[in-house]
Chain A
Amino acid sequence: MSSRDSENYIKKMFREYYLKWDGRPPKEYERREYGFVPSRKGDVLRHVSFNDWREMKEFLAKNAPLHVYYSSAYYLQPSAQDMESKEWLGADLVFDIDVDHIYTPCKERHDKWLCLDCNFNGKGMAPEACPKCSSKRIDGKAWFCEECLNVAREETEKLVEDFLMSDFGFSEEEVEIVFSGRRGFHIHVENDVVKQLDQKARREIVDYVKGMGLILEGGRKKAHAPPLNASGWHGRIARGVYELLVGCDKEGAGIEEGTTKTICEKLQESKGYWLVEGDVCRAWLSLAKKAVASKRCNIDERVTIDVKRLIRLPETLHGGTGLIALRIDIDGLSGFDPYKHAVAFNSGEIKVKVAEAPKITFMGQEWGPYLNQVVEVPTGLAVYLISSGNAEVSP
């Protein structure tokens, strides 16, 4: 069977999904620009807008695109062909947490990459450019395992609870968490406070969340250490240091016991800033640096700074996985399993020829690993393997 059959099969399944689609529109949907990727080789169809959400549903049912995007921005003329005449009115604040950009040790086990120019290849996280010939044409085979998912979930929780809700004061209703459809989460903040923020202001928010440009006060001999309940990064650092010292990660300290005890006691007692001096100061500063590294949030800054970006529309399918970009409650995040909750096709089984796939837990059951073999798998897994380019439909 050819890849054309596979493409037709995916198209058929996507159409089936979109015929019954009833996705909730984003806020002020008629002010947004939409973009679509109709097929694997097709260009992005941009500058589309809808005055009635029913038109969107009809469009999706008719065209069954591989990817559906919408602008985080609001425009006066969302369908204008060039950015100038669209007339920007504001934009949501958007964050992207993508394991593609975060190092995880499990990638050494399940990710591979190949340079399309010189065929040089390796395991683990794909480099930006080939180390041998510097080509940027790198083809990566990436998987999203339990460990990757945990990292993405942790980063998302940190962002939403510690930063967006606690520091920036957004309510649960204003923050929307969406599974990206592949290896991470998108976090959308829709409210009037963030709408008018320019790129400079958004860059400041990025730097805040990433802990960039943070000044650790004090010199080598003397410093003022914040109490555990301080707000902003100061409190975050104090709590981070405390966690390092009392947690199982004691080697993270590499600091002698007496000093550890002093800092711990001081942190427990202090209501206000306290003075650290001499050896304790040196230890404090090195611990503070580690605390920053553990408390910072690993977001892709480009997505947040760009106020005219297109981002995947919630509840549509990801063309590279066939999974749904599902909206998730903050409470539901810890129990979220993309290979269970974001699966669009739940009935039946189908035969596919799998080129290569690691062991994967799909709908609560283990499948694989596979290497060049024809197997019968649940429809959802078949769509996943075909969409990600790891399998073809088999007669």
Chain B
Amino acid sequence: MSFSKLDLATYPFLSSTARIIEELGVSFYLEELLSPTSEVFLRSLERIREAVFYRVTTLRRRDLDVEILSHPVALLIINAMEDKRLLNIYAEAEKNRVHEGLIRESHERVLLLAVDGFGWHIHKEGDGFSLRFDDYLKASTHMLDPYWKLVNRSVRGGYVEVSRKDVCRLLAEAYRARILEKGAKRLLEGLPEDVKPEVEGLRREVDAALPKGKAAGLIERLEYNPSAFPPCISKLLQEAEEGKNLPHMARFTLAAFLLTVGKRPEEVMELFRKMPDFNEEKTAYHLKHVAGEIGSKTRYLPPNCASLRTLNLCPLGDSTCPKVKHPLVYYARMLKLARKRNHE
């Protein structure tokens, strides 16, 4: 099956477009593309701006060659800027653009795009499609709405029933995931000197336009107020204070939460001291890990609600806290509410 140039520009996940992206990394054209006067370079910057300012990129039909190349080059630029937040926003904006295109396609075309772009095992079934469960899971696991949970799906013989609308959404999500995966690797040693001023300019625009990362901003604003804790954390805290023996993941959750909301490792240590199998050395080591002081140097956040449910640490079980996917979000909302009440 061959696709038109317009298809390749619209759906950068198609195998032919993907090949261009792969090859670009080593191509000697790259220098030509990454120059201040290159049309592709200029269009790439614009693509990034569209993502930042409108949260959706556009499709220019005027020069499809430029359009096709501008996506991989935009990805190279973002990669060189080493801004994870920008990568997320760009991936999301591309996802949105692609999704808008997909929903206008026919059944047959959706099928072709899925097979060529992602090698999905998919076939028509009644009004919708059947998609093999591993392809379904790879595209759906980061969607938190229970609608997408496998358990709520019709599954038979290794295939999941999906509507046309579902497939469009899953394809767009798979595309987003692919951008994030690509962007996480180091693609370039650095940008050519002569485009650096342009890219620095872009960085300033982006910094001005984007508020601090949601999580980072959220954490900075958190203060310590146990009365606003979500039920899962309150329960763990109470059990820890009673000196109950908590399983490993329960301790991790509690420690990560308390450290995030401003407790110092020494204070958390005192809490854990009450546990019957307390081991000072081990606990100190674990706490340092969670706090990001040793090991991978990542500061750990507590698990999200879905994980807590699987780990049996959610005291609400199948019912949930309203509209909350993460215990820290619950906490932030309750704090806000408490502040408001204090004001009144």
- Chain A residues packing against B (C-beta within 8 Å): 117, 128-130, 133-137, 166-170, 193-194, 196-198, 200-201, 203-208, 211-215, 230-234, 301, 305
Question: In the complex the two chains form, is A233's CB within 8 Å of B134's CB?
Answer: no
- Chain A: which residue is nearest B134 at the CB level? A193
B301-344 to A contact mask, C-beta < 8 Å, 1/0: 00000110110000000100000000000000000000000000
> Which of A166, A167, A170, A305 has the most C-beta atoms of chain B within 10 angstroms of its own C-beta?
A167
Q: Is the CB of B244 within 8 A of A129?
A: yes
- 8 A Cβ contacts from B122-153 to A: 132-134, 137-138, 140-142, 146, 149-153
> What per-residue 1/0 map shows which CB atoms of B146-165 lie under 8 Å from chain A?
10011111111111010000
Q: How far is the CA of A133 from the CA of B244 in the complex (A)?
A: 9
- Given A133-B276, A134-B276, A193-B134, A204–B149 Cβ distance below 8 Å? yes
A16 CA to B343 CA, complexed, in Å: 79
| A201-B138, A201-B141 known; A213-B157 Cβ under 8 A | no
Bound CA span A168–B146, Å: 20
Is the beta-carbon distance between A206 and B152 smaller than 8 angstroms?
Answer: no
Q: How far is the CA of A204 from the CA of B148 in the complex (A)?
A: 10
Which residues does chain A contribute within 8 Å of B63, judged by CB atoms?
none
B277 and A201 contact, CB distance less than 8 A = no
Complexed CA–CA distance, A137 and B279 (Å)? 14
CA separation between A350 and B287, bound complex, in Å?
53
Say if the beta carbon of B243 comes within 8 Å of chain A.
yes
Question: Given A137-B277, A193-B158, A208-B150, do A213 and B309 touch, yes or no (CB 8 Å)?
Answer: yes
Is A232 within 8 A of B245, CB to CB? no
A301 touches B243 (CB 8 A): no
Interface of A is mostly: loop
Neighbouring A residues of B138 by C-beta, 8 Å = 197-198, 201
Q: Which residues of A contact B307 (CB under 8 A)?
A: 203
Given the known inter-chain contacts A129-B276, A136-B276, A213-B146, please indicate yes or no for A231 contacting B155, CB distance below 8 A.
Answer: yes
- A200 nearest CB neighbor, chain B only: B141
> In the assembled complex, which residues on chain B have CB atoms less than 8 Å from the CB atom of A168?
133, 155, 158
A226 nearest CB neighbor, chain B only: B154
Q: Which 9 A-B pairs have the closest CB atoms?
A: A169-B158, A231-B156, A201-B137, A200-B141, A169-B157, A129-B245, A232-B155, A232-B154, A204-B150
Give 20 pairs: A residue, B residue, CB < 8 Å, sorted on A: A128-B247, A129-B245, A135-B245, A137-B277, A166-B157, A167-B158, A168-B155, A169-B159, A170-B158, A200-B142, A201-B134, A201-B138, A201-B141, A204-B150, A205-B137, A207-B150, A207-B310, A214-B318, A231-B154, A231-B155
Q: A129-B276, A201-B138 are in contact. List 16 more A-B contacts (CB 8 A).
A: A117-B276, A134-B275, A136-B245, A136-B277, A137-B277, A166-B157, A169-B156, A197-B137, A203-B141, A204-B141, A207-B150, A212-B310, A213-B151, A213-B306, A214-B152, A215-B152
List of A residues within 8 angstroms of B146 by Cβ: 213, 215
In the complex, which of the residues B141, B154, B275, B318 contacts A230, with contact meaning CB atoms closer than 8 Å? B154
With CB as the reference atom, state the residue of chain A lying closest to B147: A215
Q: Which residues of A contact B156 (CB under 8 A)?
A: 166-167, 169, 231-232
Q: How many residues of B contact A (CB 8 A)?
A: 33
- Smallest CB-CB separation from B311: which chain A residue? A301
- List of A residues within 8 angstroms of B132 by Cβ: 193
Return chain B residues, CB-CB under 8 Å to A130: 276
Report the separation of the CA atoms of residues A233 and B149 in the bound assembly, to the nearest whole angstrom.
12
A8 to B194, CA, bound (A): 76
**CB proximity of A83 to chain B, nearest CB, Å:** 12
Query: Can you name the residue of chain A whose Cβ is closest to the Cβ of B317?
Result: A212
A231 and B310 contacting across the interface, CB-CB below 8 Å: no
Give CA–CA (A223, B243) in the complex, Å: 45
In Å, the complex CA distance between A268 and B175 comes to 44
**A135 and B153 contacting across the interface, CB-CB below 8 Å:** no
Provide the bound-state CA to CA distance between A128 and B245, in Å: 9
| Inter-chain contact A196/B155, CB cutoff 8 Å | no
Q: Are B245 and A208 closer than 8 Å at their CB atoms?
A: no
Q: Which of B149, B154, B159 contacts A207 (CB 8 A)?
A: B149
Closest chain B CB from A90 CB (angstroms): 12
* Cβ-defined contact, A206 with B310, below 8 A: yes
Contact A233 B137 (CB under 8 A): no
With a cutoff of 8 Å between Cβ atoms, the chain A residues found around residue B247 in the complex are 128
Partner of B161, one of A169, A203, A206, A231: A231
Q: Quick one: given A135-B276, A136-B277, A231-B161, are A213 and B245 in contact (CB under 8 Å)?
A: no
Using Cβ atoms and an 8 Å threshold, which residues of chain A touch B152? 213-215, 233
Q: Which residues from chain B contact A205 at a C-beta distance below 8 Å? A: 137, 150
Residue of A nearest to B137 (CB): A201
Residues of A within 8 A of B310 (CB): 203, 206-207, 212, 301, 305
Could you tell me if A214 and B276 are in contact, using CB atoms closer than 8 angstroms?
no
Chain B residues with CB under 8 Å of A203's CB are: 141, 307, 310
Q: In chain A, what residue has the closest Cβ to B277?
A: A136
Please name all residues of chain A whose beta carbon is closer than 8 Å to the beta carbon of B275 when the two chains form the complex.
134
Question: CA A305 – CA B307 in complex, angstroms?
Answer: 11
Which among A198, A206, A208 is the interface contact of B155 at CB below 8 angstroms?
A208
Chain B residues within 8 Å of A204, by CB: 137, 140-141, 149-151
Residues of A within 8 A of B157 (CB): 166-167, 169
Cross-interface CB contact of A213 among B149, B243, B277, cutoff 8 Å: B149
Q: Least Cβ distance of B134 to chain A in Å?
A: 5
CB pair A233–B277 under 8 Å, yes or no, is no
Is there an interface contact between A197 and B150, defined as CB atoms closer than 8 Å? no
Query: How distant is the Cα of A211 from the Cα of B277 in the complex, in angstroms?
Result: 34
B276 CB contacts on chain A under 8 angstroms: 117, 129-130, 133-136
* In the complex, chain B residues whose CB is within 8 Å of the CB of A208: 150-151, 155
Q: Which residues of B contact A206 (CB under 8 A)?
A: 310
Q: Considering only CB atoms, which chain A residue lies closest to B140 in the complex?
A: A204
Bound complex: CA A92 to CA B307 (Å): 22
Contacts of A128 in B (CB 8 A): 245, 247
Q: How far is the CA of A371 from the CA of B156 in the complex (A)?
A: 53
Centre residue among B133, B142, B306, B309 by max chain A CB count within 10 A: B133
Chain B residues whose C-beta falls within 8 Å of the C-beta of A214 in the assembled complex: 151-152, 318
- How long is the Cα–Cα vector from A356 to B157 in the complex, in angstroms? 49
The CB with the most chain A CB atoms within 10 A, among B151, B157, B244, B275, is that of B151
> Which A residues are CB-close (under 8 A) to B153?
232
